[in-house]
Structures are given as structure tokens and as C-alpha cells.
Amino acid sequence: MRRSELLSRVLITAGIIVAIGMPLLFWRSTPLIHARRADTGGWSPDVIQAEVDKPLHVRLTSDDVRHGFAVGQMDMQPVDIEPGKVTGVTVTFDQPGIYTFFCTRWCGVNHWRMRGTIEVTGPATTSETVPTTPLYVTLGIDIDAPHESPILPMAQPSAVRGQQLAGDPAMGQFINQDVYRSNTPYQIFEALDSTRLSDSEKWDMVAYIWQSNTTSESLADGNGLYSQNCAACHGEKGAGDGVFADDIAKAGEAAMESMSGSTEMAMQTPADFTDAKRMLGASPALLEGKILRGGMGTGMPMWGSIFTEGQIWDLIAYLYSFQFEYQK
């Protein structure tokens, strides 16, 4: 074989090897976590290993639309993940355990299904916090049972008006976190029977009691959490009419058809927090249960692995603002 022929063959073969080998080599050395809408795969991989006190560097990319990344129970700012671009983020864990990472952008009707886990191993570097039993469990509340208020106010209860009526020292017993969290607004309304207040004044008083058991900072925090995580389904104004509400209802109908008429586990339209019957019959403890555990097949996700306890109470305080007129 002539040298030129041999050289040509070597050149072509080398070209092919380089064209295949080099990108594959570099591609393998730059692993990514891919984010896709839940119905086309969600996170990939969806399980990540990490060690306590050792910074975990993750490189994220989106394969379809804009997503977000955050780790539950951690004090971190969510980062955006743009389609076709790579975002880097570093997280350090001081406790072993299983953490949940989740999408923070409304990426589609199944946005809330975009979750993965980070398995963190190693000894704890800070004192371990002892998990507390959720209040709804302690109180034995059946969070799936109906909880409607039999009496409803004629007008929106106002904390401002309630404050003007709050001269009675006996009211002090209600400005108490345990009482507030364990009772429904309707129960407190009933407990105010002993006063000489009219029904509408009693509801104003309930609104005042609810506001007194929270702070403006908590309400602001709850507002932020609600806007980012809940409004997509429940709506910006809490009316259960978020951008995905219709899609959830359609998915529910499809699920009902596929289950041969069984409606037990069907998806439901998102809860309407402006519905007085629903909200005035629900205690903060009951709402805690709903948020922690989720709706069990109704389409409401469980948030227990994502929100801290403080965040959940802040969110609950904000949910009542759809019922009560609070002082600005």
C-alpha cells in the first residue's frame, strides 16, 4: 500500500475516533442533573448522595422549560434552571438524613411532582434536633373528615374592628398560641358566647384573636411561601382558581374514568381558601396536617419534607388572611 493511501486511511480513522471520542470523554466528565417536567421524567437523577459537612456541588440543566431548584428544610435561596444552560449550586449539610430537593418554578400541571432526594450520610456536626409530634396528631384530628363551620359571618370579619372591642381582660385567654392552633375560628366564636357581643362583633373578635397570634413578619413570610408554592393551584387570591386548577380538574375527571367510576381517590379541584364554611371550620392544627401530609390522591402534595415547622405556621397564618381583614 502506498504511503499516501495509508496516511489517508489513518487520517480518516483518526478523525472519526476524535469526533466520537473527545466529546464522549468530556461529556462523561461533566455530569449534570437534568430537570424535565414531571410528566416527561422529572429530575434525572432523582437520588443524589452527599456527606455531612462536605459541600455538595451540583450542576443543573433544564431539558424543556425554566425550572427552579431548592432543598427542603434548608435555609437556601432557590436557583433558576434555564433550558439548555447549566446552573451550579453548592449545598452543605450539617445533619445526616434524607432531604428533598424540589422544583420552585411553576413548570406544568405536575410541577409539584418534581421532587428528588439527597441521601446525606456521616456524623452530625451540630446537635441533632429531636423531631416533634405534629399537633394534629397529638390532638387526634382526622384531617380527611369534613370540617365545616355551621355558622358564617354576614360580612368579612375585621381584626381592626375586633381590636376596638378587645378591652375585656378575659380576651387575654385567647391570645395564646396553643389555644389558637388547637381551635377553629368557629370554636372561638362559640366560646365568645359568654360575652355580650353581637355575632358580627364576635367574628371581628375572632379575626383580631387570629391576627394577635401571628406577626406581620410571619404573614409576610407566609405570603412569600404561598405565592411561590401554593398559588399555582390555589390561586393568588386563594380562591382555588390558580393557573393549573383547570388542568387538575381535567386530570381528576380522567382519573375517575380510568378507575371505573370510583371517586375515592380522584383528583379534586384545589381548596378554596375564600370559602368561609371551609376555613372557619378548620383549625391551624388541621391545616398543619393537610400541609404536612398532603391530600392523599387529591392532587395536594405533601410539604412535610420541604417546609420547616416555622414556615408551615407562617403559611397557615397567611391562609386565614383570605378570611379575615387584618390591620395593615
Task: Return the sign of the alpha-carbon dihedral for residues 16, 18, 22, 25.
Answer: positive
What is the C-alpha separation between 215 and 20, in angstroms, rounded? 61
Cell 496516511 sits at which residue? 7
CB 116 within 8 A of CB 45: yes
Burial 261-274 (b: 16+ CB within 10 A, else e): eeeeebbebbbbbb
- 5 binds another protein per the rule CB under 8 A: yes
Q: Of 4, 77, 126, 258, which one interacts with another protein (CB under 8 A)?
A: 4
Q: Which is nearer to another protein, 1 or 130 (CB)?
A: 1
Binding range to another protein, per CB under 8 A, among 54-62, 153-161, 215-223, 306-314: 54-62
Q: Which residue intervals of 88-215 are DSSP H helices?
A: 135-138, 159-164, 177-182, 185-191, 199-212
Residue from 25, 75, 77, 84 touching another protein (CB under 8 A): that is 84
Contacts of 262 (CB under 8 A, 6+ apart): 256
80 near another protein, rule: CB under 8 A:
no
User: If binding is defined by CB under 8 A, does position 328 make contact with another protein?
Assistant: no
Q: Does 260 bind another protein (CB under 8 A)?
A: no
**CB-based contacts of 75: which residues, under 8 Å, 6+ apart?**
none
Which one of 46, 51, 53, 63 is in contact with another protein (CB under 8 A)?
63
Residue 14 or 155 with smaller CB distance to another protein: 14
Minimum CB distance to another protein smaller for 4 or for 129: 4
The only residue of 12, 220, 254, 296 in contact with another protein, by rule CB under 8 A: 12
Nearer to another protein, 29 or 260 (CB): 29
Nearer to another protein, 9 or 54 (CB): 9
For residue 60, the minimal CB distance to another protein (Å) is 9
What are the strands of the beta sheet with 33-35, ordered from one edge?
43-44, 33-35, 56-62, 86-91
Span interacting with another protein, options 27-35, 117-125, 220-228, 264-272, rule CB under 8 A: 27-35
From candidates 44, 47, 49, 85, binder to another protein by CB under 8 A: 85
> Which DSSP string do the residues of 203-260 spell out, in sequence order?
HHHHHHHHHHTS-HHHHHHHHHHHHHHTHHHH-TTSSS--TTHHHHHHHHHHHHHHTT
Residue in 39, 54, 57, 83 binding another protein, rule: CB under 8 A: 83
Q: Is 254 in the site for another protein (CB under 8 A)?
A: no
For another protein, the closer of residues 20 and 170 by Cβ is: 20
Q: Which long-range contacts (C-beta less than 8 Å, at least 24 apart) are formed by 78-83? A: 78/104, 78/228, 80/105, 81/35, 81/105
What are residue 83's phi and psi, to 5 degrees? -60, 130
Contacts with another protein, residue ranges (CB under 8 A) = 1-2, 4-5, 8-9, 11-12, 15-16, 18-20, 23-24, 26-27, 30, 32, 59, 61-64, 83-86, 88
